[in-house]
Chain A
């Protein structure tokens, strides 16, 4: 009888071990933190909760939800609208619209059938939310209604881009295509096969070109009006993030850890460096420096003139790009005590934010 009981218990012990082992891999580190900042508040999407942090003191203004919920996970960069709403996409398929001042929930867009990995593009009253369910949703933020939706062939992990010269939205999908949709009605203008998945947001230049990196180890320039390819530049590894465009130069990194500066006219390299580890987020260019985080504990500050490097050890592993607001550089490491660290432009630390339990 005793042996029978043991036999009954053993499978359930094994089950507990398996489920706990497997569950931990589901929820642990599935994305990197999302971060934006206004002039006085930083909004940090850090897994189960979103935090509003006072930039002067580094103290918490509010958090959403009040109690962490394992089913909700926020990793995309939140988006702040002109009328003070904070749009926060979640892995639980919902787009949460919060009052940015108080953190109170305003309304939720819940049409998506799969997780929301990327941020929405906001133009006026419209939000264009990409989803892992293959659709991009155009949502009227005033009426809170869906205006249109368009399907691609795979999950969309890239925030769409727009062009001031046309009323269009560029959507990069993991189905290897980049799409141009009419922003008003969702009609397809064109689509171009780039031969590999795309998860970065395209950069758009004033001369009507579109620049996007692919998992096919390429940076590609396209005509934004027709979708025709203008030039291609071969990289060392997959290009994960979209490029940053500044002074007619594209700055971006790849998974081999190379960081490139290319002339937008023909894709010729200005310089190339390899700071350390994979680069998975879009760099920030401020004045004459590019700020990048690689998959390491260090923030790299690169001269845009010649690619010379300065670095600052932060801690943990930093995937997401820093945010520069006013005279502060904000860095959000994962696997570190502090969720957010603020540096002055001279590199000295101003404060760090660790949420109270």
Chain B
């Protein structure tokens, strides 16, 4: 199931793009990421909608009242919050969906890159069976894994050009951490109550997600790090173009939307 519906299509799309665009696998990953962003655009739009609703809710009088009323009773507060969500037709997990969707794409892409790079015999044998007949596999294989200073099928650390005092600096990992952090900050809507639980959660997520992505980018194929960076930059651009990027959050200023009644 996974191979048929996720891995094989991903591998074939990547190789198809590679065949069209100058036999450059880095370029194929970049174009593939743009395609993924386009395909998941409805989810991103949904996420924005959910965020906006949440933001409106958090600045409403009703919400503020229950925060004060049940300040000492977390359980009751959660119950009341849930009933307000229901009442207003808000799914509190709605803004998490695009993030959750990212994980199967990430795992699929990692496997697709590893498979397409086919750096060992059994991987190449498996690849030979996964390629659709319309792709001229015998002419394309082996795919050119070189992109900038990287071998996209290997962790960047094995090919990084920056060695300082005997330590190889993982450039891509650093850029992944920075762009993930930047995106998280820009995507986080301003909170009506910076001291409340949800704001604390947002701050925690803003710190833990870049670290998580950095560890993945450092440990696995550098092609995946390239995907993260391009995906993050596209995400930032998308939010900025839609006027949803919270630049104030980045520079420490809070900007609240007017309360809708």
Chain A residues near B (Cβ < 8 Å): 3-4, 7-8, 11-12, 14-15, 18-19, 21-22, 25-26, 29-32, 75, 91, 115, 117, 132, 154-155, 157, 174, 195-197, 199, 214-217, 238, 240, 255, 278, 280, 295
Q: Using Cβ atoms and an 8 Å threshold, which residues of chain B touch A117?
A: 120-121
Partner of B123, one of A11, A21, A30, A154: A30
Task: Compute the total of residue contacts between A and B using a CB distance below 8 Å.
Answer: 93
The answer to whether A115 touches B119, judged by C-beta atoms less than 8 angstroms apart, is yes
- B39-57 CB mask vs A (1 if < 8 Å, else 0) is 0000000000000000000
Q: Using Cβ atoms and an 8 Å threshold, which residues of chain A touch B211?
A: 11
Q: List 18 A-B contacts (CB under 8 A).
A: A4-B197, A4-B200, A4-B201, A4-B204, A7-B201, A7-B205, A11-B209, A14-B212, A15-B212, A19-B220, A31-B121, A31-B122, A75-B121, A115-B119, A174-B141, A197-B141, A197-B142, A240-B125
Q: Closest 10 CB pairs between A and B?
A: A30-B120, A196-B138, A11-B212, A215-B138, A174-B142, A216-B138, A31-B121, A11-B208, A7-B204, A29-B122
Pick from B65-73, B84-92, B105-113, B234-242 the stretch touching chain A: B105-113
Assess whether B101 is interfacial by the CB under 8 Å rule.
no
The answer to whether B197 touches A3, judged by C-beta atoms less than 8 angstroms apart, is yes
Assess whether B103 is interfacial by the CB under 8 Å rule.
yes
- B201-216 CB mask vs A (1 if < 8 Å, else 0) is 1001100110110011
Q: A195-B138, A215-B138 are in contact. List 7 more A-B contacts (CB 8 A).
A: A4-B201, A21-B107, A30-B120, A197-B142, A216-B138, A278-B125, A295-B125
The answer to whether B212 touches A115, judged by C-beta atoms less than 8 angstroms apart, is no
Nearest B-chain residue to A173, judged by Cβ: B142
B46 vs chain A, min Cβ distance (A): 21
Q: Using Cβ atoms and an 8 Å threshold, which residues of chain B touch A295?
A: 125
Assess whether B79 is interfacial by the CB under 8 Å rule.
no
The answer to whether B201 touches A25, judged by C-beta atoms less than 8 angstroms apart, is no
Q: Using Cβ atoms and an 8 Å threshold, which residues of chain A touch B120?
A: 30-31, 75, 91, 115, 117
A23 vs chain B, min Cβ distance (A): 8
Chain B residues near A (Cβ < 8 Å): 103, 106-107, 110-111, 114, 119-125, 128, 137-139, 141-142, 197, 200-201, 204-205, 208-209, 211-212, 215-216, 219-220
Partner of A280, one of B125, B142, B197, B216: B125
Nearest A-chain residue to B211, judged by Cβ: A11
The answer to whether A22 touches B138, judged by C-beta atoms less than 8 angstroms apart, is no
Partner of A18, one of B121, B128, B216: B216
The answer to whether B122 touches A32, judged by C-beta atoms less than 8 angstroms apart, is yes
A157 and B216 contact, Cβ closer than 8 Å, known pairs A4-B200, A4-B201, A7-B208: no
Q: Using Cβ atoms and an 8 Å threshold, which residues of chain A touch B103?
A: 14, 18
The answer to whether B128 touches A22, judged by C-beta atoms less than 8 angstroms apart, is no
CA distance A273 to B197 in the complex (A): 70
The answer to whether A19 touches B216, judged by C-beta atoms less than 8 angstroms apart, is yes
CA distance A174 to B197 in the complex (A): 57
A197 and B125 contact, Cβ closer than 8 Å, known pairs A18-B216, A91-B120: no
Q: Using Cβ atoms and an 8 Å threshold, which residues of chain A touch B139?
A: 195-196, 216
The answer to whether B142 touches A19, judged by C-beta atoms less than 8 angstroms apart, is no
CA distance A336 to B107 in the complex (A): 28
Nearest B-chain residue to A281, judged by Cβ: B121
The answer to whether A22 touches B220, judged by C-beta atoms less than 8 angstroms apart, is yes
B47 vs chain A, min Cβ distance (A): 17
A216 vs chain B, min Cβ distance (A): 5
Nearest B-chain residue to A23, judged by Cβ: B219
CA distance A115 to B121 in the complex (A): 12
The answer to whether A3 touches B201, judged by C-beta atoms less than 8 angstroms apart, is yes
A164 vs chain B, min Cβ distance (A): 29
The answer to whether A22 touches B110, judged by C-beta atoms less than 8 angstroms apart, is yes
CA distance A155 to B107 in the complex (A): 26
CA distance A19 to B216 in the complex (A): 7
CA distance A19 to B219 in the complex (A): 8
CA distance A19 to B110 in the complex (A): 11
CA distance A7 to B200 in the complex (A): 10
